[in-house]
Amino acid sequence: MGILTIGCFPGLVGNMSYDFALKLADAAVSKGHKVNIWFSGNATSSVKAHQKHLKDYSTGEKHLAALIEKGVEICTCEACTVARGVQKTESIEKIQWNAMHWYLAKIHASDRVLQIGGE
């Protein structure tokens, strides 16, 4: 099985690219692939815990928790995240916080990389 690393930059609400990234990750890990997800830019605000799932809006929290349970490594860019006012203590459990070199290190070991750009 392969290693897939997804760089996810779009915001949780406002387009469907974020939803696509998570669904793709779920499909890949369910097939037995190792999956890493890197959040940068507006995607980083999605790591905040206690999201209320309103039916008119995409939600990240329950999907992220499920992916982590399946072994997906998820890391948020610390600088991008704190710039949006989200502190580590408010984060969804088991999401890693690191700098951009985390993404490059995961890419180094990856068979495939999917960079999903933001707005």
Partner 1 sequence: MGDVKLAFIVQKPQYKGETSRLAITHAISYQTVEILLADGDTVTPTLCFVGEGVLGLQNGQKAMDLYGITSTETHVKNSLLVDLDVLVCKEDLAKYGIPEDAMPDAEDMGADKKIKIAPFSEIQKAIDEAKHILFF
Residue 101: φ, ψ to 5°: -65, -20
Beta strands per DSSP E along the chain: 3-8, 34-39, 73-77, 96-98, 112-116
Number of residues binding to partner 1, judged by CB under 8 A: 22
- Work out whether 107 is an interface residue with partner 1 (CB under 8 A): yes
- Work out whether 7 is an interface residue with partner 1 (CB under 8 A): yes
Options 41, 58, 60, 81; binder of partner 1; rule CB under 8 A: 41
Site string for partner 1, 84-103 (x = CB under 8 A): ---------------xxxxx
* Beta-carbon count within 10 A of 56 CB: 5
Distance between CA atoms of residues 4 and 57, nearest Å: 27
Q: Least Å distance between CB 78 and partner 1?
A: 12
Which residues does residue 76 pair with via DSSP β-bridges, in sequence order?
A: 39, 97
Nearer to partner 1, 90 or 119 (CB): 119
- Work out whether 66 is an interface residue with partner 1 (CB under 8 A): no
Residue 37: φ, ψ to 5°: -125, 130
Nearer to partner 1, 53 or 112 (CB): 112
* Beta-carbon count within 10 A of 107 CB: 16
Binding site for partner 1 (CB under 8 A): 7, 9, 40-42, 80, 99-105, 107-110, 113, 115, 117-119
